[in-house]
Amino acid sequence: MNVAGLVNEIDRRIRALPKPTTQPIRAVRREFSKRLREESPEEVLALGEALLGSHRWVGYELIANHPTAMRLLDVAAVERLGRDIDSWWSVDAFARIISGPAWREGLLQDSVIQRWAESEDRWWRRAALVSTVALNDLSRGAAGDTRRTLDICARLAEDRDDMVIKAMSWALRELVPCEPEATRRFVAEFEDVLAARVKREVRNKLNTGLKNPKR
């Protein structure tokens, strides 16, 4: 497999789209996933990493949708794929598609995500929280994991970075369908340190099922 050639081909195909929005780009990705199905997981992982600079989430989805590429993920590979995360969208793509599922499937130890939660880099702290979403996303096969989710949330409960606050709300709201009472107790326990936005949105979710119900 010619990784450089495929990177260029994917880039040309995406740039040629009349409207390069999520669905048309994903259609291109699906086509390449079919082409790459029989390729080795090592090569697909290399392709995903090579796409970080141009079409990051496409690279992530190529890895996630290959029959065996995700099985190769370890700490070093995951952190390479998280290289240069520097925006909410790059973090969320990384954590939803790569690190969260890898953690859920036992490819990453809890200590890795805990280390990210203690990082000086706001984006890695956000990645720690967004990684918990994969533990609790029932629509994607998760069974729920209260212990690990609340461990990460507790480590970042006092964080006042806006990107972390928004991720905290998301992480807790995703836990609500799995363990509403545990979520409610957590918000009460950390009442004095959680950001007002987190308390408001999570309690809205608990009480109404919506993040921001209409008045």
Q: CATH number of the domain at 169, please.
A: 1.25.10.90
Q: Are residues 108 and 151 in the same domain?
A: yes
- 81 within domain boundaries: no
Query: What was the pLDDT predicted at 136?
Result: 97
- Contact yes or no for 150/186 (Cβ under 8 A): yes
Output the CA–CA distances (angstroms, integers) from residue 43 to 49, 67, 126, 152, 208, in the order listed: 10, 13, 29, 33, 46
Q: Are residues 178 and 119 in the same domain?
A: yes
- Contact yes or no for 55/67 (Cβ under 8 A): no
> What does the alpha-carbon distance between residue 77 and residue 39 come to, in Å, rounded to a whole number?
18
- Contact yes or no for 44/36 (Cβ under 8 A): yes
Q: Are residues 200 and 133 in the same domain?
A: yes
CA 103 to chain centre: 11
Q: Are residues 186 and 133 in the same domain?
A: yes
Query: What was the pLDDT predicted at 130?
Result: 98
Main-chain dihedrals φ then ψ at residue 36, nearest 5 degrees? -95, 0
Q: Are residues 68 and 92 in the same domain?
A: no
Q: Are residues 109 and 207 in the same domain?
A: yes
Query: What was the pLDDT predicted at 106?
Result: 97
Q: What is the pTM of this model?
A: 0.96
Three-state secondary structure call for residue 69: helix
- 80 within domain boundaries: no
Number of domains making up the chain: 2
Three-state secondary structure call for residue 212: coil
> What does the alpha-carbon distance between residue 198 and residue 49 come to, in Å, rounded to a whole number?
34
Structural domain span for residue 50: 1-72
Q: Are residues 46 and 93 in the same domain?
A: no
Q: Are residues 126 and 209 in the same domain?
A: yes
- 65 within domain boundaries: yes
Query: What was the pLDDT predicted at 151?
Result: 98
Query: What was the pLDDT predicted at 134?
Result: 97
**What DSSP character marks residue 74?**
-
Q: Are residues 157 and 179 in the same domain?
A: yes
**Amino acid symbol at 118:** E
- 79 within domain boundaries: no
> What does the alpha-carbon distance between residue 204 and residue 136 come to, in Å, rounded to a whole number?
18
Domain boundary among 40, 72, 104: 72
- Contact yes or no for 94/82 (Cβ under 8 A): yes
> What does the alpha-carbon distance between residue 33 and residue 207 come to, in Å, rounded to a whole number?
41
Query: What was the pLDDT predicted at 141?
Result: 84
Q: Are residues 122 and 53 in the same domain?
A: no
Domain boundary among 72, 94, 115: 72
Query: What was the pLDDT predicted at 214?
Result: 80
Residue ranges of the chain whose pLDDT lies below 50: none
Q: Are residues 135 and 48 in the same domain?
A: no
> What does the alpha-carbon distance between residue 34 and residue 30 come to, in Å, rounded to a whole number?
6
> What does the alpha-carbon distance between residue 199 and residue 169 come to, in Å, rounded to a whole number?
8
Domain boundary among 45, 72, 99: 72
Query: What was the pLDDT predicted at 140?
Result: 86
Query: What was the pLDDT predicted at 177?
Result: 95
- 38 within domain boundaries: yes
